[in-house]
Structure 1
């Protein structure tokens, strides 16, 4: 598929607001001749909606060894929750429109040593939709395995441009807020060099219409 429009990753912040020393309510005059009639005309909201993405606050993911065997060393963790919000109105969604969150892992490079890097083809994931999608308009991406298969039958291609979350229908049903995370599985050769390795997993939200 050809993606021709990209939405940017947005940072989220929460601001707490408190009221202190609030005065008591003023006493209204009971004389109707002193009253003020109020009216307001609210026009339809013309601000266009959008598709946006946020990632839950996190300090990174530390993968821990679990499930290693003679065939591979395995290290696991959980991706922080990713939220996609589609605030468009039905009439704003073009025919054939869909969006997708795509993950791309970088190389795991050793810190303070000369060990060779571990390529992104050794990292897999199992996406998990956390929101209810009874309409089927939004689905989690397909699981993928390291090139050293995890035995589940998932494609052994690694985390190289794989879908985490995708809207699957040209429908107003995709409007709303959707949350997803994923189990991460790094499977390396059994003789991988010891050391501390670091990588960056980039998540991108694409919109196609």
Structure 2
């Protein structure tokens, strides 16, 4: 978003304004007003418009200490570790006039590989991490919706695409500039699902959330 509209008053215009004001003030007390009835005056008025600040589109993530996935739902086919993504909030304070026609936004998640110390280092690719986004705010207008669930490449049997978390949508707006204004909250159920022979270790990954604004 670009906000670069500024109004500049030239030095000449400033001088002219001061001169006009000076003449008006001199006229109030000078001899030219001698014929006016006593007590007459000049009404001076000004209409000061409220200061306006351009709206903006922003994203915040609830305070957290990270997500610690715990083993839950393992079976003979896979080991599974689950947790919950902290609440993500998207706030749009723009007016409809400030939003270009057809513009929409999306929050996208991208996980790095899980790695654990060792020689060699142990690695679990991001394709083994899936999520199920959950919209936490009113969706009656249909202007904002949670992203589609995706599962690990080790399928969980739900029918969700088994593609892992490598650039998947968490929250998406429609292209309706009026309805998408406001605040939307979302979180997601996370599930790391691996083969039963996964190497033991303390693994760490970074999940990056990005807000994209496109038209």
What TM-score results when the alignment is normalised by the length of structure 2? 0.76
Paired position in structure 1 for 2:166:
160
Paired position in structure 2 for 1:178:
184
2:153 to 126, 147, 152: 147
Hey, what's the Cα distance between the residues in 2 that align with 1:136 and 1:77? 27
Structure with the greater relative contact order (CA < 8 A, sep ≥ 6): 1 or 2? 1
Shift of the 197–45 alpha-carbon distance from structure 1 to 2, 3 Å rule, reads same
* Higher radius of gyration, 1 or 2: 2
Instruction: Answer yes or no: is 1:93 the counterpart of 2:99.
Output: yes
Q: Which has the higher helix share?
A: 2
Hey, what's the Cα distance between the residues in 2 that align with 1:53 and 1:109? 28
Give the alignment's Cα RMSD to 1 decimal.
1.7
Paired position in structure 2 for 1:56:
62
Hey, what's the Cα distance between the residues in 1 that align with 2:156 and 2:122? 22
Hey, what's the Cα distance between the residues in 2 that align with 1:40 and 1:144? 60
The alpha-carbon deviation at position 45 of structure 1 amounts to 4.5
2:175 to 163, 169, 173: 169
Gaps of 5+ in 1: 6-38
Hey, what's the Cα distance between the residues in 1 that align with 2:83 and 2:205? 13
- Per-residue CA distance 1:97-134 (angstroms, 9 max, x = gap): 00000000000000356352000000000000000021
Hey, what's the Cα distance between the residues in 2 that align with 1:185 and 1:54? 22
Q: How many residues align?
A: 172
| Structure 2 counterpart SS, 1:99 | strand
1:195 to 193, 201, 204: 201
Hey, what's the Cα distance between the residues in 2 that align with 1:47 and 1:75? 46
Gaps of 5+ in 2: 2-44
